[in-house]
Structure 1
Amino acid sequence: MAFGDSTRYQSKAAMSEINVVPLVDVMLVLLIIFIITAPLLTHSVKVDLPKASSNPNVTQPEHIEFAIRSDGSFFWSGEQVTLEQLPPRFADAAEKSSKTELHIRADRDAHYELVAKIMSAAAQAGLTRIGFVTDPTGE
């Protein structure tokens, strides 16, 4: 029993063809997997997204400029107010006109909890037009 006997293989030529059967098997399995999983990937939730435009919005005369700083202080058209003063002010503004808009200018570092409280108080008072003022430069 000679392990190093190479005379046995000298008469055979080297195999020059590529065996494609395993490649085809793997490709068929992958094709079946993609056929099964493709419908699962296209399932999505329908959401009615707002349309954005580059034109500036025309601000109506009856609007409230409301600012929230990162330290938790609130400003109603430049006047500092507390959270307890807001529900009656929102109710008065809603009674004056149903088209009164609330423009919220929240500081970048303001807590979302404060913004949510303001939006909730405004909605409970009857203000339905609430918008956020952003910096268009993004800086």
Structure 2
Amino acid sequence: MRFKPDTRIYDEVNVTPLMDLAWNLLIIFIVMATATVQGISVDLPKASSSPSLAKPRTKAITIASNGEIYLDTVNVTLAELEAQLANFKAADPTLPVVVKGDAAVQYQRVIDVLEVIKRVRISEVGLVTQRVVK
């Protein structure tokens, strides 16, 4: 018995595998987009109202509970922080900066960071707090 190849011409395209691929890519994109969070996790102090941080060029300075300082997500010393902020300030004179200090951090560490910001002459400074839900 001899095998006879199928010589029919198909006039339809099966898009089911393509739709499966599209759904999988969509799910992966959603999971990855929600999983990436910028910054270092700290326990923020509470305040009755919090300002909105809608400026995308804002630099975030985070002071962790152990006293380590982060510029965005990079661990820096006070000297490195001052140098990098001076560079950013030279590129953008209206550079906004927000300071996120852990509630358990020593107050002097926050003051040290604010002194660096003052020396660089950054005038747009914000302190990040958690909103109290009543």
TM-score between both structures, scaled by the size of structure 1: 0.56
Comparing both chains, which one has the higher relative contact order based on Cα–Cα distances under 8 Å and sequence gaps of 6 or more? 2
Q: Tell me: CA distance 1:107–1:60, structure 2 relative to 1, closer, same or farther (3 Å).
A: same
Find out whether 1:111 has 2:91 as its counterpart.
no
State the number of aligned residues. Answer: 87
Higher Rg of the two aligned structures: 1
State the partner residue of 1:23. none
State the partner residue of 1:64. 59
Given that 2:50 and 2:128 are in contact with CA atoms closer than 8 Å, whether structure 1 keeps it comes out as no
Question: What stretches of structure 1 of length at least 5 have no aligned partner?
Answer: 1-52
Aligned to 1:65, the other structure's residue is in SS state: strand
How far apart, in 2, do the equivalents of 1:80 and 1:112 lie? 19
1:55 positional shift: 7.9
Q: Tell me: CA distance 1:55–1:112, structure 2 relative to 1, closer, same or farther (3 Å).
A: closer
Question: What stretches of structure 2 of length at least 5 have no aligned partner?
Answer: 1-47
Q: Tell me: CA distance 1:62–1:70, structure 2 relative to 1, closer, same or farther (3 Å).
A: same
TM-score between both structures, scaled by the size of structure 2: 0.58
Given that 1:65 and 1:77 are in contact with CA atoms closer than 8 Å, whether structure 2 keeps it comes out as yes
Find out whether 1:137 has 2:126 as its counterpart.
no
How far apart, in 2, do the equivalents of 1:89 and 1:129 lie? 16
Q: Tell me: CA distance 1:60–1:115, structure 2 relative to 1, closer, same or farther (3 Å).
A: same
Find out whether 1:83 has 2:62 as its counterpart.
no
Aligned to 1:75, the other structure's residue is in SS state: strand
